[in-house]
Amino acid sequence: MTNEDALKAEDVAEILHIGRNAVYELAKSGELGSYRIGRRLRFTYADVQTYIKRTKNGGGSKSDAPTS
């Protein structure tokens, strides 16, 4: 994996159109895959896409679904 594959919470928040704290909550609950590099939480683009597909298919709660 390259550094280009590592997304910050801010990047994910922008993709999902949600707040940064919401990204951390999704990661904490396990709904959004993440990993740590030191103390920093990072995300893969593939995990973000998986989350989007799952919420589009009704797998997530309405409050977790990205808004347009």
Q: What is the pLDDT of residues 12-46, one digit of tens each?
A: 999 999 999 999 999 999 999 999 999 999 999 99
CA distance 53 to 16: 12
Quote the pLDDT of residue 68.
Answer: 45
CA distance 9 to 21: 8
| Span 36-64, average pLDDT | 85
pLDDT band at 4 (very low <50, low <70, confident <90, very high): low
Quote the pLDDT of residue 38.
Answer: 94
Q: Where is pLDDT greater, at 43 or 68?
A: 43
**Main-chain dihedrals φ then ψ at residue 66, nearest 5 degrees:** -65, 145
Query: What are the distances in angstroms from CA 47 to CA 51, 53?
Result: 6, 10
- Its pTM stands at 0.75
Q: How many helices (H) and strands (E) does the chain have?
A: 3, 2
